[in-house]
Structure 1
Amino acid sequence: MELWIGMISPWIGGIMIGMSKRSGRKGIISSGIVWIIMTRELVKRMREERLVENRMENIGYEIGVDGMSIGFMWLSSVLISVSIISEYKKEKGSQEQLLIMEGILMEVFSVRDIIGFYISYEGVLIPMIMMVGRGGSRERRIRAVYMLIIYTLVGSMIMLMGIIVMYVSVGSSGYEVLMNVEYKEEIGEWLWWSIMISMMIKMPLIPCHVWLPEVHAEAPTVGSVMLAGIMLKMGGYGMLRIGIGMLSEESVYNSPVIYTMSVISGIYGGMSTISQIDWKKIIAYSSIVHMGMVGVGMYSMRREGYSGSIMMMISHGIISSGMFMVVGMMYERYKTRVIKYYGGMEEGMPIMSRIMWMLCMGNMGVPMTSGYVSEMWIMWGIMSVSKEIGVMMSISMILTVVYTIWMYNRVYKGSKKEYIGKEMDISRREYNSISPLVVIMIIMGVKPSIWSEVW
């Protein structure tokens, strides 16, 4: 019953906001209910190994929560809760979109049917497109929307054909049935590619990444939080749930493809990040680097690699969302994201600079942060398979340290630029929205064994 309450609470909250003039409190309550439910389910998973299933008997609709899905559902509820807090005094349209997205995301990560997964997987795009198209801050936002639609549509159509073939071949779309099916070599290979192309675009891995920096640059802050924090993780979740879970033999055979794309994403993505001048694009390209690490961890086919990749996705969702929120706060004050206009902000904005520095430490993988734990697990998993790939991925980790320190120093250290007027440190509302992310990042880094027991 709790899972169903978590599924419908965002929809009820969105309807209530649409019918009322004052929206903030209802949005916070609705998202808070989901967060409490998902936290309780997460604690249950920590205490006992089990799969929670709920079936709607009349229509055969089934949802379930296992160790992997509850982590992503919890991440979604946390990020949408803090996003609604940050949007408390803004127009209610953004909060409605957030709650609609939360309801769809709960279905993405809990539905136990591949057709239901596809429908909800694509349904998330609707509120995302509205966020970018209506809430974007620059003139190129319509171009960004088209790029988002075209890239994801191409991958989705190919994946839909694969899902149809799976259903026709097996006669069922349930996860439990599809996980125990062996396909002929030619069919299995085609099915793997049909699923994985969509997931590669959604993560994204290079060369399927072109749309991501453009959409991030044009999206409002809350849109970037949803994109980096949750939507990219849907690609990783699909790789684990469908690619490796249902097409395991094909995944082992094609693992060199993922290794190659992941290594390129890590090294080329890191070098591209260093060359950016837009603050948001720096964090966007950083996401590509981290998703390269995720790909390597998953396809190491080791328990440490699996745990590290899931930990990395949740950790990156927390850290990158916090960094995007800081960039949004700075943009609201100074109306620019170009790095060269900033400098010496630490003296006038001490609290915000400390928060950003802690997030940067998590992004670099400093010990006692979630980034460190996830990177070490991934490296442990891949080094047991191929030391050469491990060495190449360590280069991307070094590049991450370089561009993260470079970004922070350019903004907060040095002398103050003449372009900056009066400095305004973080407000109480901004602090309340971003501080939970920093706390979660540290807890995940200090006590990683709790999380590894979940998935």
Structure 2
Amino acid sequence: MAGVRGSGAAAPERTGAALPARHLRGVVRHRDRGGVPVSLSSDISFPALTLLIFLPTAGALAMLLFMRGRPRAYKTTALVTSLVVFALAVYLAARFRTGTAAFQFQEQADWIAKLGISYHLGVDGISLVLILLTALLSVLAILGSWNSIKDRTLAFFISLLILETGMIGVFAAMDLFLFYVFWEVQLIPMYFIIGLWGGARRVYAAVKFFLYTFAGSVLMLVAIIAVVWWNRKNGGSLTFDILTLQQVGFPTGLAAWSFAAFFIAFAIKVPMFPVHTWLPDAHTEAPTAGSVILAGVLLKMGTYGMIRFCIGFFPEIAVRAILPVLILSVIAVIYGAAMSLVQPDMKRLVAYSSVSHMGFVTLGLFAFNQQGVEGSILQMVSHGILTGALFMMVGFFYDRTHTRLIADYGGMARPMPVAAAFFSLFVLGSLGLPGLSGFVGEFLILVGTFQYAKVFAALASIGIVLGAAYLLWMYQRTMFQQANEKWLTLKDLGAREIITLVPLVVMAVWIGVYPHTFLNMLHAPVDNILSQVQPYLDEQGGAVARLVGSLFGGF
């Protein structure tokens, strides 16, 4: 049977043999030179990624063993631990070498050798920017929850730290089994965060979140076993190493089914339409920190998985899937925005806006050009910052008013002018105002999509218009409508709350004014991704473009 990659006359020729996992220490496949693996040494002499991943777990264990009954001690421990993790992530970013697609700071050791499973970590520019986002939002989620969690506080902060371990592990794992372990690790603490500290319907929301995500995880596990088994059966080594498996040419049937299994698992996490229905309930019922982490990081695990596995393992199938993915993405953009427009609850409005914004991300990813893919990754970061900030603001308002219904607010700018100023900046950033982070990602995505499928770019633009409508409508009704007499004596944001929001303002302005700081980290790995896809785009992309043209009258 003809393989999707590496066999058949139409498939691109690979140079260099696939390397066994045990030979991959410090070796990274760089497709820009015909797929020949190259090495990139690191001058960091300590296991930085291991520390980055497991410091939160160590902090959680210290809290559990030594700090029972001392609420301030374990709050402080959680905050200090997350600050150290963030500082280490910034240190790695400062030592990171841009201009190469090679994975850096690699660590590898045999784990379950008989099954070809290794403890293999490494980061490229894509994973590093997401690790930075994770570390930052984890700090702010802890700080933002300082006084709002009154019950089972120790368990709450332990859950946040274990969740941080799982999220960073997902972005740093270079072994499929290790990736799956970390993917599952984050599921349990988020389930408890929603189910124990959420709103009135928290149990329903937590169970729904768990069932959706776990169903996707089962599909992913089946796909992982299938690709590893096929590689071993057909003369390859028994390995779960991601770099090795990316060099394998899978038969078309296996590739198609495995792509579908991976894609559904990641689409649930994004979430894409129509498997998005768990998200509004989870966001609405989750405590503020849960919503910040869920929107800011967990959704990005889905699009990250699409990049690493759906595109990295099965580039030909990914090209064949362009049209359905673009259609689903545009539906998500418009549907999410339209649903946001009719929500009476601020948190539910922001939740549906995430469906719309993440629709832009998948739209750009499957445009398969530099602007689209880089714009998507930048939009992932921007969405994490701005939507996380909006959830934080809603949480601060709720702590004072104990309501999230937009109709219950009005004139909040009078008693809370500082909060109104912060809120306005995050609203303007989310609707895509130039100079703030939301504009850059959406602009690049639309430019990239327009080059390939003009009609989808035009349809997605409707979502931007609707986004401005629902965000400004929410802001006007809460901040500037006739004042509700009940809120005139409310206290404005305190020092802790302002400190929590300032880093998000800095990041939103930084990305909006000078995005090259982050784009420079993305150029090489995105080039590497596109080099894998380009041969199949040359072969099939024209047919897809002609189909789009025939469906929409050549527009």
Q: Deviations over 1:84-140 (max 9, x none)?
A: 1223345233221111111111211001011211121121011101101110122x1
Residues 341 and 419 of structure 1 are in contact (CA less than 8 Å); yes or no, is this contact kept in structure 2? Answer: no
2:91 is aligned with 1:40: yes
What's 1:167 paired with? 228
Alpha-carbon distance in 2 for matches of 1:129, 1:65: 28
Task: Give 1:309 deviation, angstroms.
Answer: 0.6
Are the aligned partners of 1:87 and 1:95 in contact in 2 as well (CA < 8 Å)? no
Equivalent residue number for residue 55 of structure 1: 107
- Please list the CA deviations of residues 128-171 of structure 1 after superposition, one character each: whole Å capped at 9, or x if unmatched: 01101110122x11111111111112211111111110110113
SS in 2 for 1:95: helix
Query: Deviations along 1:345-391, whole A, 9 cap, x unmatched?
Result: 11111000000100011101111111111011111111110111110
- For residue 53 of structure 1, report the CA deviation from its aligned partner: 3.8
**For 1:187-231, what per-residue CA distance to the aligned partner results, in whole angstroms no more than 9, with x for missing partners?**
111111010001111100111111100111111001101110111
Q: CA RMSD in A?
A: 1.3
Question: Aligned partners of 1:46, 1:401: CA distance in 2, in Å?
Answer: 38
Range with greater deviation from structure 2 (359-368 or 55-64): 55-64
For residues 33-432 of structure 1, what are the structure 2 equivalents within 5 Å? 33-45=84-96, 47=98, 49=100, 50-59=102-111, 60-89=118-147, 90=149, 91-138=153-200, 140-171=201-232, 172-420=239-487, 422-432=489-499
Q: What SS does the corresponding residue of 2:121 show, helix, strand or coil?
A: strand
Q: Deviations over 1:254-309 (max 9, x none)?
A: 11111011000011111111010011000000000001000110000011111111
- Equivalents in 2 of 1:351, 1:93: separation in Å? 32
On the 8 A contact 1:46/1:453 being kept in 2, the answer is: no
- The one-letter amino acid of 2:90's match is T
Greater helix content: 1
CA contact (8 A) 2:167 2:298 kept: no
In structure 2, the CA distance between the partners of 1:184 and 1:454, relative to structure 1 (3 Å rule), is same
Question: 1:280, 1:327 within 8 Å by CA — same for their partners in 2?
Answer: yes
Q: 1:58 offset after TM fit, Å? A: 4.5
Aligned 8 A contact 2:415 2:488 in 1: no
Match of 1:13 among 37, 59, 62: 59
Question: In 1, Cα distance between the equivalents of 2:119 and 2:172?
Answer: 11
Q: Distance in 1 between matches of 2:352 and 2:226?
A: 35
Unaligned runs of 5+ in 2: 1-46, 112-117, 233-238, 523-555
Task: Supply the AA of the counterpart residue of 2:133.
Answer: L
Quick check: 2:407–2:477 contact (8 Å CA) kept in 1?
yes
Aligned to 2:516: 449
User: Which sections of structure 1, spanning at least 5 residues, go unmatched?
Assistant: none
Query: Which structure has the greater CA radius of gyration?
Result: 2
1:30 counterpart = 2:76: no
1:271–1:399 CA contact under 8 A, matched in 2: yes
Distance 1:135 1:423 in 2: 25
Question: Cα offset for 1:444?
Answer: 0.9
- Report the secondary structure of 1:57's partner residue: strand
Greater mean alpha carbon deviation, residues 268-277 or residues 179-188 = 179-188
Distance 1:287 1:57 in 2: 38
What is the CA distance between 1:423 and its match in structure 2? 1.7
Q: Take 1:248 and 1:374, find their aligned partners in 2: how far apart are those partners? A: 23
Q: What TM-score, normalized by structure 1, do the two folds share?
A: 0.97
Quote the offset at 1:403 in angstroms.
Answer: 0.7
Note closer, same or farther for the CA distance 1:58–1:295 as it changes in structure 2 (3 Å cut).
Answer: closer
Secondary structure of 1:61 counterpart: strand
